[in-house]
Amino acid sequence: MKKNSLIFIVLLTLGFSLVGIAQEMKPEAGKLYNEGNALLKNENVNGAIEKYNAALQIEKDYRIYYQKGVALKKANRLEEAKTAFEEALKLNSNFEGGLNALGGVYFSMGNYSAAIENFEKILNSNASNAVKQKVKKNISLAYAKLGNDYLASGDVNKGIEFLKKAVDNDNYDAAYLSLAKVYSELGKYDESIEAALNALKYRSKITKGGPYYYMGISYKGKGDMNKAKENFKLASADPTYKKTADYELGNIK
């Protein structure tokens, strides 16, 4: 039974105040920068990019490059957004927002290893613990994607390795669910049950059916048909897993 357990991926952004920043720039650059921000806030992405480009003709400031990158990413111009964030980091290599944004672009491009590399630079910075906790969630999401990609390619060991790194960074429910699934397929039933219980414990976006279904499979594999039946019944209450759970229930005598 194939399930896409990683459909609830939302990268966290690191907010930083824009108040007073324009006053630190050359007056005309600051004016254009503020105009760009206003346009971006009103979803006029192309107009914002034009203003940021005009501002950069006057002054090369990492915050202008950053905002330009944000606008380009909104326009799904990922390669250009990557370049803008890279330019911001050339001017301020310790800029946490830039590192996170660049990691986010790499994530959107499917380059999860590069995303993790940029996110982890923030963990090694002087960022606050609150910022680092947000970044660890992003690292977890990237490792989970990487792990599922390896599983899909048939490299089970690498897949498990990266999924475990995902939950080491953050208790990501979908990563635990993926572990429950692959462990059940490998016959590692105790590990599958443990992962499924964690998926339920830390459940945020996934439904309950998946963890119960894989616990049912694992208890069936262990020969405990009563517990298998109990969990398949719970899984059957979830429309996504009802058909397969009912099938398993029909095979239990």
Q: Are residues 21 and 142 in the same domain?
A: yes
Q: Are residues 71 and 177 in the same domain?
A: no
Domain that holds residue 125: 1-167
Domain tally, the chain: 2
Distances (CA, A) of 162 to 67, 123, 181: 32, 18, 15
Q: Take residue 205 and report the two structure tokens written for it.
A: 């976006």
Distances (CA, A) of 13 to 16, 94, 96, 105, 194: 10, 16, 10, 12, 31
Binning pLDDT at 50, 70 and 90, where does residue 233 land? very high
Q: Are residues 112 and 192 in the same domain?
A: no
Q: Are residues 131 and 63 in the same domain?
A: yes
Q: Are residues 107 and 61 in the same domain?
A: yes
Binning pLDDT at 50, 70 and 90, where does residue 118 land? very high
Could you say which of 141, 167, 193 is where a domain stops? 167
Q: Are residues 161 and 194 in the same domain?
A: no
Could you say which of 104, 139, 167 is where a domain stops? 167
Q: Are residues 181 and 148 in the same domain?
A: no
Q: Are residues 159 and 175 in the same domain?
A: no
Q: Are residues 89 and 4 in the same domain?
A: yes
Could you say which of 113, 147, 167 is where a domain stops? 167
Q: Are residues 145 and 183 in the same domain?
A: no
Question: d(Cα 67, Cα 231) in Å, to the nearest integer?
Answer: 49
Quick check: 196 pLDDT over 60? yes
Average pLDDT, the chain: 92
The domain that holds 88 is classified in CATH as 1.25.40.10
Say what the pLDDT of residue 12 is. Answer: 62
**DSSP per residue, 181-250:** HHHHHHT-HHHHHHHHHHHHHT-SSS-SHHHHHHHHHHHHHHT-HHHHHHHHHHHHTSTTTHHHHHHHHH
**DSSP per residue, 21-40:** TGGGS-HHHHHHHHHHHHHH
Stated pTM of the model: 0.88
Question: d(Cα 1, Cα 198) in Å, to the nearest integer?
Answer: 20
Say what the pLDDT of residue 114 is. Answer: 97
Q: Are residues 66 and 189 in the same domain?
A: no
Report CA dihedral (92, 168, 153, 8) to the nearest 10 degrees. Answer: -80
Q: What value does the mean pLDDT take over residues 145-154?
A: 97
Say what the pLDDT of residue 18 is. Answer: 54
Over the stretch 47-103, which tens digit does the pLDDT of each residue have? 999 999 999 999 999 999 999 999 999 999 999 999 999 999 999 998 999 999 999
Over the stretch 30-48, which tens digit does the pLDDT of each residue have? 999 999 999 999 999 999 9
Phi/psi of residue 67, nearest 5 degrees: -65, -35
Q: Are residues 12 and 115 in the same domain?
A: yes
